[in-house]
Structure 1
Amino acid sequence: MYHDIAEVLIQEIEAGLFPEKLPTEEQLRARFQVSRDTIHKAIELITQKGLVRRIQGSGYFINHINVAEKTVVNLSLGYTTKRKKLTSKIITFDKITADASLTERYNVALNTPLTRIVRLRYLNDELYNLETAYYVDAVVPFISNEAATDSIFEFIRKAYGIYATSSDQYLAQEKLTATEAELLHKTTTEQQLTLYQTNYYGNQAYNLARTIFVYPDLNLYFHITNKMDK
C-alpha cells in the first residue's frame, strides 16, 4: 500500500504540484485514508529517492533538482514507472542460464536460470539507450510480451509484489562490441556511458542489467541517505 501512495506522490512532485513542501502527514492520512505508519513509510521511501528532505518541526521540503527534465535520469528512482515517454524495440527475449561472465559481474550463481531481455529504448523517438537485462526465474518466473515493451518493473511489482529494496550500481565508460555499435549506430572505438545494476528484493537479487546510454547531454542523479545511530 505505501509503495502505491509513494508512487502517486512521486508523480505529483515531478509534475510540480507541491512547489515547496509536501502536505503534512495528517493531511496525507486523511487524503489516502490509511494509518500514520503507512504514510510515514511512503514519505520515507520518497526521501530515500532524494525527492524531499525533512526539516525537524517544519515538514518535508521538495528538493528542487530538475529530475523531470528529459536529460536527467534519477538513478535512485529505479526506473519503476513511465517517468519519461520511453518506447522500446525488443531485440532479444529468451531464456538462458548464467555463465561465468555474468557470475563475475553480478551477484548470481553459475547456471542460474534467467530471462534475458535486450531492448533499444527511445525518448521522444530519439535513441536513448540499449538495455540488456536479466531476471532471475526463481523470483520472476514470467514476463509478458506487453511488459517487455513497456515498464517491466511495474509489471513485476503488480504481478509478484516485488520491488527493489536495494540496488548496486556501477558506472563506467566502455567501448562497444560490434553488435552494440551496430544497434546504436556508433563505432567500436567510441566509449559510452554504461550502467551496471543489480536490484535486490530483500537479500535476493532478481534483476541484473547493463544499460548503455547514448542520449545527448544526459545527466545522472542519485541520492544517498546515511542514517545515524541514536
Structure 2
Amino acid sequence: MQVAQQITNQILQKEFVKQLPSENELIEQYEVSRNTIRNAINVLASQGLIRRVQGSGYYINQHILRSTDLLMMGAKNGIKPEKFRKDSLKNDINSNSRVNSKVVHLDDTTAKGEVAAMLECDESTPIYYCERVRFLNGNLLCLEKAYYLKEFVPFLNEDICKKSIFDFIKKQYNIETESADDFIKLVTISKEDAKLVDKEAGAPAINIREINYLKNNRPFNCSSINYFDENLTFYYHLDTLISH
C-alpha cells in the first residue's frame, strides 16, 4: 500500500505525466519486489487512476486529474491522493476543498430492521448511530446517517464524529475497508431531513446506501447519505462490463 501511495503522489505532483515507468524501472526506483510493484499498480488501476494498455504500459487517467469536487466511489483501499481530500465514505474530494461536519445525533443503540440486515447481525447487536450534516467549502454537501458495529468500533464521541470517522477507526482500531457495496438512487427528502439541511420537503437528492466490509467479508459499517451539492461528480471505474 505504501508503494501505491508513493506512485499516486508522484502522479499528482506531475513527476509522472502521461505514462508510468516500466515495471523494471519502478522496481529499481522503489527497491521492492516485482509482486509489490504489481500489487501497487493493481490498486491504482482499480481506482481508475491509471489504465493498462496491453503491450504498451500503464497510462495515467487525465480525466481524473482535471476533475474537481470528485467523489471516487471505487476508492476503498486506503490510498489518499494529495490532490483529494477524504470524506466519511472513504471517497476523495479535491484537496483544495474543506469538509466540515455538524453532528446531529450520536447514539449508543442496537441494530434493528434494515440496519441489522445490512450489517448481517441480530437485532439486539450493539451499534453506534451517527447522524451528521456535512459541508464542502461552507456549502451544504450531504446528510449522512451511519451505523457502526461496536464489536469493531467500540468507542465514538462527538469530537471524533466532527472529523473523519474512518481515519479515527483506522488509526485506533486498525480497521480498513476491504470492499463495499453502493446502492445509488434519486430520492426526495423527508420533512424531518429537510429541516436539518434547510431545504424544502420533497426536494431531490442523490442517495447512496453503502455497506463496508472487512477482509473476512464481515460488514462493520453501513450508511445512507443524501447528497445535495449540484457541482459534485460521482466517479466509478469498471474494468469489465458483463452483458446479458
For residues 179 and 230 of structure 2, the distance between their equivalents in structure 1, rounded to whole angstroms, comes to 28
Greater shift in the superposed pair: 117-126 or 21-30: 21-30
State the match for 1:103 in structure 2. Answer: 116
Is residue 141 from structure 1 mapped to residue 150 from structure 2 by the alignment?
no
Following TM superposition, by how much is the alpha carbon of 1:214 offset from its aligned partner in structure 2, in angstroms? 0.6
Report how many aligned residue pairs link the two structures. 225
1:59 to 57, 60, 85: 57
Is residue 127 from structure 1 mapped to residue 140 from structure 2 by the alignment?
yes
For residues 65 and 194 of structure 2, the distance between their equivalents in structure 1, rounded to whole angstroms, comes to 29
For the structure 1 residues 93 and 28, does the alpha-carbon distance in structure 2 shift closer, same or farther, using more than 3 Å as the test?
farther
Cα RMSD, aligned residues only: 2.6
Is residue 217 from structure 1 mapped to residue 231 from structure 2 by the alignment?
yes
User: What 5-or-longer segments of structure 2 have no aligned partner?
Assistant: 77-88
Following TM superposition, by how much is the alpha carbon of 1:190 offset from its aligned partner in structure 2, in angstroms? 1.7
State the match for 2:167 in structure 1. Answer: 154
Following TM superposition, by how much is the alpha carbon of 1:177 offset from its aligned partner in structure 2, in angstroms? 2.3
For residues 143 and 178 of structure 1, the distance between their equivalents in structure 2, rounded to whole angstroms, comes to 28
State the match for 1:184 in structure 2. Answer: 197
- Identity among equivalent pairs (%): 29
User: Is the CA contact (8 Å cut-off) linking 1:50 and 1:223 kept in structure 2?
Assistant: yes
Is residue 174 from structure 1 mapped to residue 187 from structure 2 by the alignment?
yes
Greater shift in the superposed pair: 208-217 or 72-81: 72-81
Greater shift in the superposed pair: 149-158 or 6-15: 6-15
User: What 5-or-longer segments of structure 1 have no aligned partner?
Assistant: none
State the match for 2:85 in structure 1. Answer: none
1:193 to 206, 219, 228: 206
For residues 13 and 192 of structure 2, the distance between their equivalents in structure 1, rounded to whole angstroms, comes to 38
Greater shift in the superposed pair: 169-178 or 140-149: 140-149
User: Is the CA contact (8 Å cut-off) linking 1:200 and 1:207 kept in structure 2?
Assistant: yes
Following TM superposition, by how much is the alpha carbon of 1:91 offset from its aligned partner in structure 2, in angstroms? 1.7
For residues 68 and 9 of structure 1, the distance between their equivalents in structure 2, rounded to whole angstroms, comes to 18
For the structure 1 residues 151 and 7, does the alpha-carbon distance in structure 2 shift closer, same or farther, using more than 3 Å as the test?
farther
User: Is the CA contact (8 Å cut-off) linking 2:104 and 2:132 kept in structure 1?
Assistant: yes
The equivalences for 1:30-109 within 5 A come to 30-66=28-64, 69-78=67-76, 79-80=89-90, 83-84=93-94, 85-104=98-117, 106-109=118-121
Q: What is the one-letter code of the residue matched to 2:90? A: T
For residues 80 and 52 of structure 1, the distance between their equivalents in structure 2, rounded to whole angstroms, comes to 19
For the structure 1 residues 216 and 227, does the alpha-carbon distance in structure 2 shift closer, same or farther, using more than 3 Å as the test?
closer
For the structure 1 residues 181 and 26, does the alpha-carbon distance in structure 2 shift closer, same or farther, using more than 3 Å as the test?
same
SS at match of 2:48: coil
* Structure 2 length-normalised TM: 0.80
Following TM superposition, by how much is the alpha carbon of 1:12 offset from its aligned partner in structure 2, in angstroms? 4.4
The equivalences for 1:1-16 within 5 A come to 2=1, 4-14=2-12, 16=14
Greater shift in the superposed pair: 49-58 or 166-175: 49-58
1:114 to 127, 135, 148: 127
For the structure 1 residues 166 and 132, does the alpha-carbon distance in structure 2 shift closer, same or farther, using more than 3 Å as the test?
same
Q: What is the one-letter code of the residue matched to 1:166? A: S
For residues 232 and 178 of structure 2, the distance between their equivalents in structure 1, rounded to whole angstroms, comes to 26
Is residue 163 from structure 1 mapped to residue 176 from structure 2 by the alignment?
yes
1:205 to 193, 213, 219: 219
For residues 144 and 20 of structure 1, the distance between their equivalents in structure 2, rounded to whole angstroms, comes to 44
